[in-house]
Amino acid sequence: MVRSLIYSLTFHSALIFLTILSLPFMLREPINLPPIVSVELIQISDKTSIPYAPKARKIIEEAKKKEKERLVSEQAPPAAKAKEKPDRIPLPNEKKEEKQIVKKKQNPEEIKPQIRQASEFEKKEIIDTNQIAALIDKAKEEEAVKQKKSDKITQSSQKNKFATGLTLSQEDALKAQIFGCWSVPLGLPYDENLLVRIKLKLKKDGTIMKSEILDHQRMNKPDQRFYKVLAESALRAVRLCQPLKVPPTGYDKWKELQLNFNPTEMLKG
């Protein structure tokens, strides 16, 4: 009797514990996470990327100034490209992450990042870590302020963080690549809720084995012409992007990917 009770108790508590771990709605409201900024993969030089930090800050400040100016005038927003710029600037902390990935690629024996950071080579390059850390923090703060303005982004990125098995920088690399390939159909109405979900099956080299639109039946309805146009543009983007810049390891994690194409933010300008 007592034994079975103990079994029952352990089993149930184990179940509850697992549920808490794996069910999304059990998550507490996440603490202020650092924002996710999309990054284009850039070849990183042999030296560390840290000297770029002050420059990045300057550009962010400039972009902010520009934004302020734009708010003053009542004209329709000019050149959407300029807006994209600040987001694309790699922040130093992310660059570090990227660098780690690149390093892994270059010498596969070197697996543990801790070991790598302790190497003599690194020590030589980094002179005043405190100062650098301060700079990084400042840049982070500025980005955080920006982030607050658009809750939407925060939400989606939080969702991603929970769901994906990719690191943020890996995800950002993929995003940046697809951003570049996707010609957004500019004629779409911006007040309609258009979202195209595409499921991809990938080969190890990042080429696409199969692409599938998840709401396929919506494609051929006569009143869903805009959806069709958007879906086609998304498929074009994926095809043009081949091979995708996938992480060198963890094929099982990303052999199937779901891409959610949502132009609403862009079309609103």
Partner 1 sequence: MKKILLILIFKIILISKASALIEIDITRGNLDPLPIAISPLHVDIKSENFEGIKIKELGEEISKLIENNFRSTGLFNPLKKEAFVQKPDIAHLKPRFEDWRLIKAQALVTGKILVKNGKLKVEFRLWDLAAAKEMTALAFTTTPSNWRRVSHIISDKIYERLTGEEGYFDTRIIYVSESGPKNQRIKKLAIMDQDGANTKYLTLGNELVLTPRFNPTNQMVTYMSYFRNMPRVYLLDIETGTQEVVGNFPGMTFAPRFSPDGKKIVMSFAKEGNSDIYTMDLDSRVVERITDHSSIDTSPSFSPDGKFIAFNSDRSGLQQIYVMRSDGSGVKRITFGNGIYGTPVWSPRGDLIAFTKMRKGRFYIGVMRTDGTGERLLTENYYQEAPSWSPNGRVLVFYRETKSGSKGEGFSAKLWSIDITGYNERRLKTETDASDPSWSSLLSK
Residue of the chain from 91, 97, 147, 254 that contacts partner 1 (CB under 8 A)? 254
CA distance linking residue 269 with residue 266, whole number of Å:
5
Residue of the chain from 15, 20, 111, 209 that contacts partner 1 (CB under 8 A)? 15
Q: Which residues share a beta bridge with 199?
A: 212, 258
77 forms part of the interface with partner 1 (CB under 8 A): yes
Q: What is the DSSP string of 188-203?
A: S-SSS---EEEEEEE-
CA distance linking residue 189 with residue 213, whole number of Å:
21
One symbol per residue from 221 to 250: x for binding partner 1 (CB under 8 A), - otherwise; what is it?
A: ----xxxxxx-x-xxxx-xx----------
* 78-97 binders of partner 1 (CB under 8 A): 78, 80-81, 84, 87
Closest distance of CB 40 from partner 1, Å: 12
Tokens of 176: 């940046």
198: Cβ contacts below 8 Å, ≥ 6 apart: 211, 212, 213, 214, 231, 234, 235, 238, 258, 259, 261
Residue of the chain from 1, 121, 124, 189 that contacts partner 1 (CB under 8 A)? 189
48 vs 160, beta carbon nearer partner 1: 160
One symbol per residue from 35 to 74: x for binding partner 1 (CB under 8 A), - otherwise; what is it?
A: ---x-----------------------------------x
22 forms part of the interface with partner 1 (CB under 8 A): yes
Residue of the chain from 50, 168, 178, 213 that contacts partner 1 (CB under 8 A)? 178
CA distance linking residue 199 with residue 164, whole number of Å:
14
CA distance linking residue 104 with residue 110, whole number of Å:
7
Residue of the chain from 154, 160, 167, 249 that contacts partner 1 (CB under 8 A)? 160
